[in-house]
Amino acid sequence: MKTLLPDSIMKKILLVFVFIGYHLHISAQDSLTYRMDAFISVAAKDLVPFWIVNNTYGTVPLHSNNVYGRGVIHWRHYFNKDFSIRSEIDIERASRHSSSFFIQQLYTSLSYKSLSLTIGAKEYYNSILYKNLSLGDFTYSPNARPIPEINLSIPEFVTVPYTKGILQVKGDFAVGMSTDSRYIERTVQPGKDYAKDILWHHKSLVVRLYDPKQHFPLSLISGLVHAVQWGGWTSEESLGKLPHSFRDFYRIIMGKGGGDNASLGEQINVLGNHLGTYNLRIGYTNRDFDIALYKQHYFDDASGMEYANWRDGIWGMECTLNNQNYLKKMVIESIYTLNQSGPMHFLSYNRPARGGGNDDYYNHTQYISGWSHWGRSIGNPLLTSPEYSQDGIIYFQNNRIKGLHIGLEGSISTSFSYRILATGMHAWGRSSYPFLKRKNDFSSLFECNYIPSKWKGWKITLQTAFDTGNLYDNNFGCAVKISKSGFIRF
């Protein structure tokens, strides 16, 4: 059988693969690892209780009485002390999910000193909020499936020269594309508009001030996260393919209005769906405990960036106890999104004006599925994800909430650890389409993790959770996950 390429080229390609395989074999002794998960959940109602399904990177199916299997292989190689490469493939097969088989993560990262370039879908988390116990970051929480992207980052704090370690920075710059177009097409109500093949951009810059010698107990972290939906295609007949050129990319990076090929609203305002957060965290450290107070301020347009909605956001406290294990960490958070820069939206097209009001968090008139991926909120999950609608509505029906949350974690012994989440909230729907009557919810989770000392690499997680109220209905459920990890040796 003839090949499409000359034999000489084919031989060179085979030699490349042989070299890669040989190199992988040599380095696999200490750089190739695996993890396998088996998960099952049951519940009294058709949906899984809130805190079992949310903030799981979209891996847990929303519908109850489900199972999934997950396999992860991770490879890393150090060329020298400064330069390394790593790759990961993470595959899941699930029942009663938005898709029965999917690739959760698939990426390659090149790292040189403090700089990293990642290409592919990876479960990122870059927030001042503690992932295991927090409600979830307003811009990028661990709630939805990762979006494939090209990400250039300084993932960990690095010292700014000539500051004696006192001033440190980290940040990233990324562009990506959603993978949920077919999900949107089969989910949306017939005859309703939708957008697909959406492009994404986000960037962040975070600054930390602290004494590396710990003679001074206070520290400060401040940062900005900016994110945009843009490009893609919309079913709206007058638009179709949306602006996606390099010039348009410059516009969305700089927050500028669109060109002649954009909709009128995006020419007047800004191209794309922009949002993000201002972050401030003040910490105090001593020998016995670390405590931090923080505020994450969310903005959905220019009025939010100018603090017209200053009441909205997450106020929180995180406390770490250093000398005992029974209670290692505690998080208390308050979330408020009722203001949204006021109840009405107005903007003068004849003169410069801030406009504002009815910011309608996570929703957008052009990108109908809003700040979601595969039906899950990319940001904070308390703003109810479109997947919960169950009736073909792909936007956020509930984004005006007020809530209080507490999270606890600790260790009972070297083999047993626990995590507790408890959240109460009131919900009012949207400013334009409020609920006829305020809805309430209380959701909790108790999680116990067992790592047997005699079974190396095994971990068993048991979760019990319940919801009460008229937002997610009264519900009780439990879940079990069994994991096995280790090195792959040849």
Instruction: Give the containing element (helix H, strand E) for 378.
Output: none
Our separate counts of H helices and E strands in the chain read 6, 22
Whether residue 34 is predicted with pLDDT greater than 80 in this model: the reply is yes
Q: Span 289-307, mean pLDDT? A: 93
| pLDDT given for residue 205 in this prediction | 98
Q: 3-class DSSP state for residue 203?
A: strand
pLDDT at 349 over 80: no
Q: What integer pLDDT is reported at residue 341 of this predicted model?
A: 86
Token pair for 115: 């700089």
> Among 359, 219, 342, which Cα is nearest to 290's?
219
Higher pLDDT, 16 or 323: 323
Asked if residue 9 has pLDDT above 90, the reply is no
Residues 66, 100: contact at Cβ < 8 Å? Answer: no
Residue 43 within any structural domain of the chain: yes
285: pLDDT strictly greater than 90? yes
* CA–CA gap between residue 427 and residue 282 (Å, rounded): 30
pLDDT class of 358 with cuts at 50, 70, 90: confident
Q: Cβ(381)–Cβ(136) under 8 Å?
A: yes
User: How much is the average pLDDT of 325-348?
Assistant: 86
Q: What CATH number has the domain bearing residue 341?
A: 2.40.160.130
Q: 244-264: b or e for each residue (b if 16 or more CB lie within 10 Å)?
A: beeebbebbbeeeebeeebbe
* Model pLDDT, residue 347: 55
- Kindly indicate the confidence band of residue 3, based on its pLDDT and cuts at 50, 70 and 90: very low
Arithmetic mean of pLDDT, 238-267: 86
Helix (H) or strand (E) holding 31: helix 7-31
Give the C-alpha separation, 41 to 48, whole Å.
8
Please give the pLDDT value at position 58: 98
> Do residues 98 and 375 touch, judged by C-beta distance below 8 A?
yes
Helix (H) or strand (E) holding 214: none
Q: Quick check: is 247 in a domain?
A: no
Is 203 a domain residue?
A: yes
Whether pTM > 0.85 for this model: the answer is yes
- What's the average model confidence in pLDDT over 180-202? 96
CB 355 within 8 A of CB 344: no
Number of independent structural domains in the chain: 1
* Backbone phi, psi, residue 112, to 5°: -130, 115
Tell me the pLDDT tens digit for each residue of 456-471.
Answer: 999 999 999 999 999 9
**Which one, of 180, 183, 139, 144, lies nearest residue 58 by Cα?**
144
Cα–Cα dist 217/163, whole Å: 18
* Distance in angstroms (rounded) separating the CA atoms of residues 308 and 277: 14
Confirm whether 246 is domain-assigned.
no
Domain assignment of residue 261, yes or no: no
Residue with tokens 């396998």: 36
In percent, the amount of the chain with pLDDT more than 90 equals 81
The domain containing residue 36 runs over which residues? 31-231+272-487
**449 confidence band (pLDDT: 50, 70, 90):** very high
Quote the mean pLDDT of the chain.
91
**Tens of pLDDT, residues 145-175:** 999 999 999 999 999 999 999 999 999 999 9
Mean pLDDT of 188-198: 95
Greater model confidence, 258 or 438: 438
Does the residue 256 lie in any domain? Answer: no
Average pLDDT over residues 275-300: 97
C-alpha count within 13 angstroms, C-beta hemisphere, residue 204:
26
Cα distance between residue 312 and residue 276, in whole Å: 13
Give the model's pLDDT for residue 190. Answer: 93
Residue 13 has pLDDT above 50, yes or no: no
Residue 248 forms part of a structural domain: no
Distance from C-alpha of 157 to C-alpha of 155, rounded to nearest angstrom: 7
Please state, for a pLDDT cut of 70, what percent of the chain lies above it: 91
Per-residue pLDDT band at 8 (split at 50, 70, 90): very low
Is 175 inside any structural domain? yes
CA distance 54 to 243: 33
Q: How confident is the model at residue 15 (pLDDT cuts 50, 70, 90)?
A: very low
How far apart are alpha carbons 288 and 419 in whole angstroms? 21
User: What number of other Cβ atoms are within 10 A of residue 395's Cβ?
Assistant: 22
Given this model, what pLDDT does residue 344 score?
Answer: 66
The residue count of the chain comes to 490
